[in-house]
Amino acid sequence: MKTYEAIVIGSSAGGMYALKNLIEGLKSGFRIPLIIVQHLSPHSENYLAHFLDQLGILQVKEADEREKIKQGYAYIAPPNFHLLIEADQTFSLTVEEKVNYARPSIDVLFETAASVYRERLIGIILTGANHDGANGVKVIKAHGGFTMAQNPATAESDIMPKAAIATGKIDKILDISEISDFLNSLNNS
């Protein structure tokens, strides 16, 4: 079985609780780093990282520029910055134009992660009301990675998972709890 080195997650409208449920479903000691873009207002503070960190399952923090990506951590893109991954598995940030009306953009994270982690990457699209992440899913697939989308029927907003599924490049469509179970099974193997 393949070893996965990183999991990238994109979420938008309704994402805060989807992320909470996903992380709560993970077993403590989950090792594979999660790297998350949640669309937020540009003026918001790093409340989301704090909120998810308090669940006590993973160490959750806002990603810093030049920071090395480590196991057992979940990283959140800071509001109003794009989050990119460099070849040496560190983060970089940019303030360039919005992509898909979003900064941070899910596509930017997914595309740069794909070229670093290639077939050892999982990309997950959760609830959201736009099309960000759809191109990123295609790029992950093209590099041999694995892709999942939240079941649109149980997503708070179904537009984003539907757009990802419409690319034809999604390997599994699952409810949040099933996504957590699936990730747990990878972590144990």
- Annotation says 181 is catalytic: no
- Annotation says 180 is catalytic: no
- Residue 75: which H helix or E strand, with range? strand 73-76
- Annotation says 43 is catalytic: no
**For the window 139-168, what string marks contact with another protein as x by the rule CB under 8 A?**
x--xxx------------------------
The answer to whether the beta carbons of residues 137 and 110 sit under 8 Å apart is: yes
Out of 21, 92, 130, 154, the residue judged to bind another protein by CB under 8 A: 92
Which one, of 163, 165, 127, 136, lies nearest residue 148 by Cα?
Answer: 165
Please, what is the angle between helix 15-24 and helix 176-188, to 10°?
Answer: 40
d(CA 55, CA 25) in angstroms, rounded, equals 11
**For the window 4-23, what string marks contact with another protein as x by the rule CB under 8 A?**
--------------------
Total number of residues binding another protein (CB under 8 A)? 27
d(CA 155, CA 104) in angstroms, rounded, equals 21
Whole-Å CA distances, 122 to 2, 109, 172? 11, 12, 11
Per CB under 8 A, which region of 89-97, 120-128, 153-161, 171-179 contacts another protein?
Answer: 89-97
Out of 53, 111, 132, 158, the residue judged to bind another protein by CB under 8 A: 111
Contacts with another protein by CB under 8 A lie at 64-66, 78, 81, 84-87, 92-97, 108, 111-112, 114-115, 118, 135, 138-139, 142-144
Give the residue numbers annotated as catalytic, written as ranges.
Answer: 12, 39, 132
